Structure 1
Amino acid sequence: MILAALGKAPYTNSSKHMFENPDVKINKLFLVLSILPLVGLGLIGVSLHAGLSLFFTSALVNSFLFYMNRSKNEAEFGSLSYCIHIILTSRKIAKLNKDTDFLKKTNNLRKAPFIGVLLLKDDTTGTNIILHILTVLKAIFLLEYLIFHYIIHLLHHNKDLYELAWKKTAELDFFYSIAIWRKTLPYYCVPTFNGEGSFVIHEAYHPLLQNPVGNDFTFHKNCLLTGSNASGKSTFMKTIALNIVFSQALNTSTSKQINLTRGPVYSTMAMADDIEKGQSYFLSEIIALKRIFDTVNTDKQSFFYLFIDEIFKGTNTVERIAAAESVLNYLNDCKQTRVMAATHDIELTEMLASKYTNYHFREYISNDEIYFDYLIKDGASNTRNAIELLRITNFPKKVYDDALKKIAEQSK
């Protein structure tokens, strides 16, 4: 309930008060102008005409400056208001948890939420008379400007305390969101880690699937994935990659058990051409792979997980196989990496058989219907159903027959 009351404020930068050095000086002219209405009220006892003239003149000038300054700094006011709510939230959480040590440490920040009430925005509905009166007073005496700079000054001189409050709120919000996410999952586990370069996962699934199929997998050696389109290769790669990220970032894995070595994830998945940059699909893949090479060659200390989907599919068969073999051989020699690559080129599974373990996903055709079980299997794919799919999807019979004829000729 405390976090719900805090809510969220888009386009605010509440963390900048931990790192930036804002201008905390108050404009002396504004300070003088804020006092003049009081001087005018004081003069009324001496000279009614002079006192009222000074009061109304200064009130009009101040009101003009008030609205001009507010429109110019509206985003800053919103950001600061959210900072104040974060401080208030952190202290409410501390009270809920009876964290007296935190309350003592942040005692200097207590004034900010109390005074920050005066930064409340106007009542746009026109029904709250108190807010209207408060707005008039803020305009006449330039209170908003003075309060704004006072709170900035307070945060600036208590950066460490504000950072403590900010992080306490953020940490709890983070953990709470993970706990809610866990409730939505069919099952999950807390990961365990090792420093041996090994990876074992049981019943792993992709968290966005409604009826996921769990897979067991041991990622001790680089591997190649083969199989037809839609059989599950890319989804499986994403499942493993996501679980590596989730395990390290969220202490949660969408599996029943996982033990892994810590390390960053790099991929060449979801490549696309870029018309605006004049960049083809193949060039996009080249750039992504070059990024991986540069990272692996620069950082010799980290352990990397690399995922390459349908390697070099953007170019012709001869060059694709030659380039893919070279790239995968090179990455295999990098001892601090684990590589998972998907390909439709069965030739690669033979060329790299001594270095890469082969796995595949399979489809089944029965009664002119295609089925997938989405279970990973040992070995390279040995099924060729692509041409059979031409028949199932009612391509012209001549197209189907000619394709069969070409396959028969090539196999002789």
Structure 2
Amino acid sequence: MEVILIIAGVLLFLTGKGIYDNYNNAKKLRARIIREYGAKADKKLDEGRAQSIAYYCREKARSRCPIDDITWNDLDLDSIYYLLNSCKSAIGDEYLYYLLRNPSDSIEELKERNRVINALAEKPQLRTELGFFLGSVGKIKNISVYEYICRLENVEIDSNLKHYCQALLLLAGVGLIFYNPAVGIVTTVLMFFVNVISYFKRKSQIECYFSIFSYILQMAGSAGKLGKVTAADKDSDLKEYTDKIHSAASKLAKITRGAEVFLNPMGSGDIFQSILDYLRMALHIDLIAFNNMVKKFFDKQEEFDALYENMGFLDSMLAAASYREWTGDTCEPELRTGLDDGGSRIEFEDLSHPLIPDPVVNSISTSRPVLLTGSNASGKSTFLKAVAINAILAQTIYTARAESYKAPCFHVMSSMALQDNLALSESYYIVEIKSLKRIIDAIGEEGAAPVMCFIDEVLRGTNTVERIAASTEILKKLAGNAGMCFVATHDIELTFKLEEYYANYHFEEQVTDDEVTFDYLLHEGRTTTRNAIRLLGMLGFDREIVDAAQKSAESMG
């Protein structure tokens, strides 16, 4: 009787502690959700996770305006992704990346995103409950949820028969202890070690899939928390999405029912789970559950896609709302589809680069391609990147860091921060002309979205005479594009040769005897100043070198 009471007391204690831990964890999560909203995100992912988030993007259909690798690297969009990513779930991480790689040219789709973002921004209780729901699903390390789900068909499912036999032999050994203690103990110990060894051998083969199924359990189980989201959604702002999540999660729950007892949900470390861990090793109950779940899951891919897409969408929109709140100086863009209404005209006021704190802002209104000149370090490249990044943000989260932004929906492409490709034995010039060729090819694609391209220093990898000649013809071709082009150059000759094709703008500086200062403001017209030689002197080059270089430059005009 005393033993029974002790066991009952231990179970009661464990149950109580589990309830308390769950309550305490939920309280901490809710506080974190509230604290993080409107705070700077900028959370870096570890290397393994950073590589895995791209899988969903690669597998899903691309938009008409995909961001290719060159443009992504030119604009340092990894940093923009980290700046935006306050997502609460691993699904949100992957879906937000997908959105940034695939800007939309559908005004209807973009306005729907904006509607959801505004609803979350205006309703604290709704966004807190949504954040709690998504945070309950949580993150996952180093692997892509979507990738491993898609790879499930490659998993070799072993027979449950051997697991049942091993479990029964162990239980038989335990039973024998009451009749023949010596034989029972030997049998129990022997079978325990056999089962543990075979358990870890099999577990090592499917460890990643175990993590994924644990995550699916979290996803399916989180549907129970949707009630609070629905209750807070008094105006049904999210009903379309929460209904789809609930429906998909309910169908997935049918194949995972009871499995939460066997599969440790996301590595939970409480005492009850620790006890279950030993039962899993001894009786293989999680291996049996895994085999059963895999067999059933193949028929539920559609439900998983629906769950993934809708949860990822809501998580991404919550992150976008938080970004708007944090930066405080954004606007909702005015976008149009095609070039019939207003042509390729782009207008913005007080636009700035999202990664620069306390930035200098610039404005422009032009329907002509733009040719930028200016001295070194005057702000040309930063301006190009600022315009390109804001165009992408406008077509993903319906947000621009500007007072106003008006433009068509563009396919953004760039050729800026290029390097030699040593792996392919390609010089800088070869890499550069290939980069430019891909932009020209994109312009010529039938049915493609209009291209807005950004080029920093055209053909810098070759000699001056051929660079000017080739650049002139390439830029004429790009100017004939129905889209828009922004080009930065040090070649003043191009501003004269292309005057009828491009609008000239420049950045300038103030020069004193020992200092060059920049205002980083955009001015109309071509530049009339140079500072490259002066910078040599300011950085400590011998005066003899500087003076000789200056005389040589003056003699060349």
Q: What TM bracket, shorter-length normalisation?
A: 0.7 to 0.9
Is the CA contact 2:459–2:467 (under 8 Å) kept in the aligned structure 1?
yes
Q: What corresponds to 1:40 in structure 2?
A: 172
For residue 31 of structure 1, report the CA deviation from its aligned partner. 5.0
For residue 305 of structure 1, report the CA deviation from its aligned partner. 0.8
Q: How does 1:234-313 map to 2 (within 5 A)?
A: 234-313=381-460
CA distance in 2, matches of 1:396, 1:20: 63
Q: What corresponds to 2:142 in structure 1?
A: 11
Does 46-55 or 290-299 show the bigger shift?
A: 46-55
For residue 286 of structure 1, report the CA deviation from its aligned partner. 1.4
Paired residue type of 1:73: I
CA distance in 2, matches of 1:404, 1:253: 43
| Residue 388 to residue 55, structure 1, CA distance change in 2 (3 Å) | closer
For residue 295 of structure 1, report the CA deviation from its aligned partner. 2.3
Q: What corresponds to 1:62 in structure 2?
A: 195
User: What are the ranges of 5 or more consecutive residues in structure 2 without an aligned counterpart?
Assistant: 1-29, 31-131, 232-238
CA distance in 2, matches of 1:9, 1:283: 41
Paired residue type of 1:210: P
Paired residue type of 1:203: D
Give 1 or 2: higher helix fraction. Answer: 2
For residue 283 of structure 1, report the CA deviation from its aligned partner. 1.9
Q: How does 1:7-406 map to 2 (within 5 A)?
A: 7-16=138-147, 19=150, 22=153, 27-33=159-165, 36-37=168-169, 40=172, 52=184, 59-98=192-231, 101-102=243-244, 103=246, 106-110=249-253, 112=256, 114-120=258-264, 130-194=272-336, 195-196=338-339, 197-335=344-482, 337-366=483-512, 368-406=514-552
For residue 27 of structure 1, report the CA deviation from its aligned partner. 1.1
Is the CA contact 1:36–1:55 (under 8 Å) kept in the aligned structure 2?
no
Computed over aligned residues only, the root mean square deviation of the Cα atoms, in angstroms, reads 3.2
| Residue 216 to residue 91, structure 1, CA distance change in 2 (3 Å) | farther
CA distance in 2, matches of 1:385, 1:186: 36
SS at match of 1:106: helix
Does 51-60 or 341-350 show the bigger shift?
A: 51-60
CA distance in 2, matches of 1:24, 1:106: 26
Does 134-143 or 183-192 show the bigger shift?
A: 134-143
Q: What corresponds to 2:64 in structure 1?
A: none
CA distance in 2, matches of 1:298, 1:344: 31
TM-score (norm 2): 0.66
Is the CA contact 1:18–1:163 (under 8 Å) kept in the aligned structure 2?
no
Does 260-269 or 39-48 show the bigger shift?
A: 39-48
Identity %: 30
Instruction: Show CA shifts across 1:334-389 (max 9, x none).
Output: 33x31111110111110010111111000111353211111111111111333344
SS at match of 1:238: helix
CA distance in 2, matches of 1:56, 1:390: 79
CA distance in 2, matches of 1:332, 1:255: 26
User: What are the ranges of 5 or more consecutive residues in structure 1 without an aligned counterpart?
Assistant: none
CA distance in 2, matches of 1:191, 1:113: 46
SS at match of 2:529: coil
SS at match of 2:548: helix
Paired residue type of 1:30: K
SS at match of 1:224: strand
For residue 115 of structure 1, report the CA deviation from its aligned partner. 2.0
Does 103-112 or 171-180 show the bigger shift?
A: 103-112
CA distance in 2, matches of 1:94, 1:338: 48
TM-score (norm 1): 0.87
Instruction: Show CA shifts across 1:138-175 (max 9, x none).
Output: 23322111111223334333323222222232122211
SS at match of 1:225: strand
Paired residue type of 2:379: G
Instruction: Show CA shifts across 1:53-72 (max 9, x none).
Output: 87666555433321211122
Instruction: Show CA shifts across 1:192-221 (max 9, x none).
Output: 211323221111000111220111112411
Is the CA contact 1:178–1:250 (under 8 Å) kept in the aligned structure 2?
yes
Instruction: Show CA shifts across 1:227-278 (max 9, x none).
Output: 0111010000000100111111121111111111112211111111234433
